[in-house]
Amino acid sequence: MRQARRLTVLTGAGVSAESGVPTFREARTGLWAKYRPEDLATPEAFQRNPKLVWEWYALRRQRVSVVAPNAGHRALVEFEGRVAVFTLITQNVDGLHQRAGSRRVLELHGNLTRTKCSREDRLVESWPETAEIPPRCPRCGGWLRPDVVWFGEALPGVTLAAATQASRACDLFISVGTSTVVQPAASLPYEALRHGAMVVEVNPNGTPLSGEANYRLPGLSGEVLPALLGAAFGPSAGP
């Protein structure tokens, strides 16, 4: 950590778990244990039942608005100030990294708190409140939808290119709180390995990456990341 000039961190739902945001794939508590992604997180699901999809995301947005970033998010803010070149890549759509104070976040899967027009693919800041769900785009009348990436949709190209570049160019890559199974995000630690970086995984459970990573720190991100920060930069480095 102390020697790293370029640090890239990839986060997943596990980083927000200690804030009370459910993950996706954990057996009892994960969202995909309770709901079917094909009913809620695909363009086809939205075409079939836009009201259901809008309301599910509205509920998640409301839940995220009442939770707070945790010590793991805060430790990542500190890393940003202490490493020469730091890149934070997230698969999370909850905006908690930004709320903790991270300035530059590469959001691979979008952000729940933003809304876009499903027809024009443009961000929409405000719209007239009517009884209709989902609301309509004030410009073209198309349905509004959350600005998140659904299964079967392409990731934002510029963001993915920047994430890939930062994974190839770093000397230390930390993968935190992700099951490392959803592509293309899951390939980023392997890009780092292939280009000679040291790869560290922070996760209480094993993942497909566990056997490949140089180090595995089995624990909660809200405990391991502050400990890593303190070990690298001294006990006063706490968030």
Binding interface with ligand OAD (CB under 6 A): 12-14, 17-18, 23-26, 30, 41, 91, 109, 149, 177-179, 182, 202-205, 207, 220-222
User: Residue 225: which residues within 8 A CB-CB, separation 6 or more?
Assistant: 71, 72, 75, 76, 176, 202
Residue nearest to ligand OAD according to CB distances in the complex = 14
Task: Work out how close the CB of 116 gets to ligand OAD at its nearest, in angstroms, rounded to a whole number.
Answer: 15
The CA distance from 33 to 68, in Å, is 24
Helix, strand, coil percentages, rounded to 5, for the chain: 40, 20, 45
Indicate the residue among 123 and 151 with the shorter CB distance to ligand OAD. 151
Indicate the residue among 140 and 205 with the shorter CB distance to ligand OAD. 205
Cβ atoms < 10 Å from Cβ of 120: 12
Task: Work out how close the CB of 21 gets to ligand OAD at its nearest, in angstroms, rounded to a whole number.
Answer: 10
Task: Work out how close the CB of 25 gets to ligand OAD at its nearest, in angstroms, rounded to a whole number.
Answer: 4
- In the three-class reduction of DSSP (H, G, I as helix; E, B as strand; rest coil), residue 222 is classed as helix
Tell me if residue 195 is catalytic. no
Residue of 73, 97, 109, 195 marked catalytic? 109
Our measurement of the distance from residue 107's CA atom to the centroid of its chain's CA atoms, rounded to an integer in Å, reads 6
Indicate the residue among 28 and 169 with the shorter CB distance to ligand OAD. 28
Which positions are catalytic? 109
